[in-house]
Chains A and B, each alone.
Chain A
Amino acid sequence: MKPNDVILQSVTKVAVVIIFTFSIYLFMNGHHNPGGGFIGGLSTAAAVVLLYLAFDIEKVRENIRIDFKKLAALGVLIAVCTGLGGVLFGEEFLTQAFGYKELPIFGKTELTSALIFDTGVALAVIGTAVNIILSISEDR
């Protein structure tokens, strides 16, 4: 059914790794450099979409067993929980905290609750984007 796209698939295998890395970079660096949850999430979604383009939908689904609708919901849930975390410590809703810790490999690193919030954002964006594209492409 599909023409032989060995080249596309081979390039995809390499490119996906690079795109994933880049998007994680964008995501982790968001607090200090351009990037963040939104754009990081979008570029991750782009990598997933590339996988869908190069391989069959069924094949990708076998390997990545994620329900993207649930992923989006999970993202929103995480973001809300971060906000509630501040409430637990007697602060107002969505109060963020950060601190510096010595970690085994990374050395002195900034740990911030904003990152968890951003994770929520990223997951919601990935879930939504892939969900939209998948539902439209599956439509007959």
Chain B
Amino acid sequence: MSALHLAILMPFIFAFFVPIFYKSLRKIHTGWIVLFIPVILFIYFIQFIPTLLQGKEIVRSLPWIPSLNVDFTARLDGLGILFALLITGIGSLVVLYSIYYLNKDKEQLNTFYMYLLLFMGAMLGVVLSDNLIVLYTFWELTSFSSFLLIGYWYEREKSRYGALKSMLITVFGGLCLLGGILILYVIAGTFSIQELMTQVNVIVNHDLFVFAMVLLLLGAFTKSAQFPFYIWLPDAMEAPTPVSAYLHSATMVKAGIYLVARMTPIFAFDSSGLWVWLIGGIGIFTLFWGSFNAVKQTDLKAILAFSTVSQLGLILSLFGVGAAAIHYDIDENIYTVAIIAAIFHLINHATFKGSLFMVAGIVDHETGTRDIRKLGGLMNFLPITFTVALIGTLSMAGIPPFNGFLSKEMFFTGMIRVLQLDIFNMETLGVLFPVLAWVGSVFTFIYSMIFVWKTFGGSFQPEKMEKKPHEPPIGMLIPPVVLGSLVVIFGLFPNALLGGLIESVAYSVLPKFKYEVHISHWHGFGPELYMTIGVIVIGFALYQSQGKWKKIYDLFPKKLTLNKLYDSFIPSLETGSNLVIRSHMTGYLRSYLAYIFIFFIGFLGFTMWSMNAFVLNTSKVGEISIYEIVLSLLIVIGCITIVFAKSRLTSIIALGAVGYTVSLLFVVFRAPDLALTQLVIETISVALFLLAFYHLPKKFRHPETRRFKLNNALIAIGVGLVVTLLAISSYSTKLFDSISQYYVDNTYDPAGGENMVNVILVDFRGFDTLFEISVLAIAGLGIYGLIKLRLARRSEK
């Protein structure tokens, strides 16, 4: 086990000790101890950057299930280190923030930090695993720990609802992902991403390729809250704010983006363009839809949730468009800018969205509400928080000089260049990309303004707030301030600080290309600049005139929203399965018997019919004697009497008659042992039947009529017919000679007997006899037990 493996597993190992620290060190907030883990990991990961900038990568392998090709291979390349730094860096800040956010006397801190560490380790595992099965394992662990964290305040109904919803949707996607992974294994015979990349041509041309791709994308889209799976994210806002800031803005929701980026070198070679269209198209629509819906929200965290959905769509659409680069010349490729923009925006989004969530948490903490209708005028009470919020929202809206402006400009560049794509039918619908991008950006501008001005601007309404607001403790301010200053610093010096890292990440997303990251604030008068000016002007105008156009949200019928669909889908699934079960699980034995017999007729009949197995061959049939005819007639008469007799007693006597006739048939067919046994057994069983008849309640002894049911008659006739045909056919096609000659030859000499039946019973095949007498003994004891041990009746007395 290398140090890299240890780094991934460290949060898991430490999670075991969290409850111990919690119980033994009650005076210290558990978060202080947990804080060491992400900080140490962050420092550990940052020392790899110089190595990675030289274009090297670090691969460490650890056998896990070698026989199934599953090895825990940790691979650290540009993409991996970027995510590892995000996870550990923002993880450290979130833990610090949570120390002040969660009260150590009121909350169950041991579970909180255990879940958080589980999540952190799982997320590190997802981004650093090279083996897809290991990746999937960690992937499900993130779903699982996210479920636990959303439901942290489990006594609240909304928390449980949100947790269940996110669990159902992300696990659905996770299972799709597993399907995709398995199909990839079927195609290429390996779980290793590195090895898959060497077999791109085989994979892309395989028939199952599209299935693998769609299943994999379902996994990525559910995790990254893309349309139409985004609905779990707004409900996951019931989690404590540090969790929302960490999981639902910076890390977990980016796992899907990570997966898309990681799989781009394999899937982007697809010549049908499905990859570009699916990711680009769904991403850009999610961008528009998320920002459109964010505007009507009144809850601070709900605005941020829809904003996250929209920004994730932005990043994904850039990855989709960037994948088109593969189909053009290596040199002077104009589409690689989309990849660079995606990576840059990924970093930016983590910084500003993390800080904004923390701001929302502070506001909630200090005023007791997150409803923007109750908030207002907090500027003077929370100056530092206001500054951070302003920086974060301006960056989110794409205003210079913050980093969001830079990545949004690059985003527009990428989207405009879609128009020049001459493949995948982009010339027809491709125009939607820049249009949706621009409209989405306008709405982004509006909700950013709403977020900051409705909270901090306007008039102060102290009567609506539970507490008198004032600045939170310093520890709660440090993390958002750090993130806020990163927004400014990255915005001012993007090339010096991030250039090398972005190049190395871009190289691991799309290898073979040359990247020269040159991010500049001023790149002349281009369409991008006009678009940004348009966003600001129109956005500002729309923000001012909100009251007039907000009615368009009422136009959309509430019944058709995706949440309503989900909410009605789950109960209808329950009632549906209830109906299905009730429709056939009647509780009547006769129904189940009917199913069994119908299946028997259908299955056997169909098999014989499809195999052409009905044969009639009379050459082996023996001669029929007069005794056999008479006895058979007797049996038939007996059977008819049994079925049609009005009294049960008649049926019992007729049954006995049939039994004795069978015994006579044994005599005719020369089976004396069978005849003797049949005679005695028939006597006993008829006696037992009579006994049962005697104890019947009076009204059941002589039922007036027996009702005729056509269904039953048809089933009975069918079974009889199938069995008869089966018997005739199997007799007609006897393939081998009987082995009975062996018994004839060996009964006397080695076995020492003359009665062959008995010799077979006790010598040749005594094993069967042994268990038959065991069956008898068990039956006897069972009857004894049934009669003697009547606990129910005894307790009544």
Task: Mark A residues whose CB is within 8 Å of B.
Answer: 26, 30-39, 42-43, 46, 69, 72-73, 75-76, 79-80, 83, 93-94, 96, 98, 110, 112, 114, 117-118, 120-121, 124-125, 127-129, 131-132, 135-136, 138-139
Contacts and interface: CB of A to CB of B under 8 A. Distances in A.
A64 to B, nearest CB: 17
Contact of A136 (B677, B757, B787): B787
A114 B781 contact: no
B438 to A, nearest CB: 86
A137 B707 CA distance: 34
A125 B773 contact: yes
Nearest to B683: A46
B753 interface: yes
B787 A135 contact: yes
7 tightest CB-CB pairs across the interface, nearest first?
Answer: A128-B780, A34-B672, A98-B752, A32-B754, A31-B753, A124-B773, A72-B777
Interface string B761-788: 1110011011001101101110110011
A39 B673 contact: yes
A30 to B, nearest CB: 5
B39 to A, nearest CB: 69
B691 interface: yes
B650 interface: no
Contacts of A131: 780-781, 783-784
Given A32-B755, A79-B773, A39 B677 contact: yes
Contact of A96 (B676, B691, B751): B751
22 contacts: A31-B752, A31-B753, A31-B754, A31-B759, A32-B753, A33-B754, A34-B672, A34-B676, A35-B755, A36-B673, A39-B676, A43-B680, A75-B773, A94-B767, A96-B762, A96-B766, A110-B752, A112-B753, A117-B762, A121-B762, A121-B773, A136-B783
A112 B676 contact: no
Interface in B640-685: 672-673, 676-677, 680-681, 684
Interface in B357-384: none
B455 to A, nearest CB: 83
The A contact surface, by secondary structure, is helix
Residue picked from A32, A35, A36, most chain B C-beta under 10 Å: A36
Contacts of A33: 754-755
B617 interface: no
Given A46-B680, A118-B762, A135-B787, 6 more contacts: A31-B753, A114-B752, A114-B766, A131-B781, A132-B784, A138-B787
Give the most central of B676, B763, B773, B779: most A CB within 10 Å.
Answer: B773
Given A36-B761, A72-B780, A79-B773, A114 B677 contact: no
Contacts of B777: 72-73, 75-76, 124, 127-128
A16 B676 CA distance: 19
Which of A76, A112, A129 has the most chain B CB atoms closer than 10 A to its own CB? A76
Contact of B762 (A34, A114, A128): A114
Contacts of B684: 42, 129
Contact of B763 (A114, A132, A139): A114
Contacts of A135: 783-784, 787-788
A5 to B, nearest CB: 19
Given A38-B677, A39-B677, A135-B784, A83 B763 contact: no
Nearest to B759: A31
Interface residues of B, number: 35
Nearest to B767: A94
User: Which of B684, B780, B783 has most A Cβ within 10 Å?
Assistant: B780
A135 B680 CA distance: 19
A48 B757 CA distance: 27
Contact of A34 (B681, B755, B769): B755
Contacts of A38: 677, 761
A94 B766 contact: yes
Contact of B781 (A26, A72, A79): A72
Contacts of B677: 38-39, 42
B758 interface: yes
B786 to A, nearest CB: 8
A123 to B, nearest CB: 9
Contact of B755 (A36, A46, A110): A36
Contacts, number: 125
Nearest to B762: A114
A28 B757 CA distance: 15
Nearest to B687: A133
For B752, B754, B755, B781, the residue with the greatest tally of chain A CB atoms inside 10 Å of its CB is B752
Contacts of B751: 96, 98, 114
A52 B151 CA distance: 73
A131 B774 CA distance: 14
A36 B182 CA distance: 62
A8 B459 CA distance: 114
A94 B585 CA distance: 46
A93 B766 CA distance: 10
B483 to A, nearest CB: 77
Nearest to A72: B777
A37 B758 CA distance: 9
Contact of B758 (A30, A125, A139): A30
Contacts of A43: 680
Nearest to B676: A39
Given A96-B751, A129-B684, A35 B780 contact: no
A114 B673 contact: no
Contacts of B759: 31, 114
A25 to B, nearest CB: 12
A75 B781 CA distance: 14
A66 B721 CA distance: 50
Q: Which of B676, B680, B688, B758 has the most CB of A within 10 A?
A: B758
B676 A121 contact: no
A35 B676 contact: yes
A110 B774 CA distance: 28
Contacts of A46: 680
B738 to A, nearest CB: 22
B689 to A, nearest CB: 12
Contacts of A127: 777, 780
B165 to A, nearest CB: 59
Contacts of A136: 688, 691, 783, 787
Contacts of A98: 751-752
Nearest to B781: A69
Contacts of A121: 762, 769, 773
A125 B776 CA distance: 7
Contacts of B676: 26, 34-35, 39
A132 B783 contact: yes
Contacts of A139: 787
Contacts of B754: 31-33
A31 B758 contact: yes
Given A36-B673, A96-B762, A114-B762, A69 B780 contact: yes
Nearest to A117: B762
A138 to B, nearest CB: 8
B782 to A, nearest CB: 9
Contacts of A69: 780-781, 784
B609 to A, nearest CB: 41
B773 A120 contact: yes
B753 to A, nearest CB: 4
Interface in B89-127: none
A98 B672 CA distance: 25
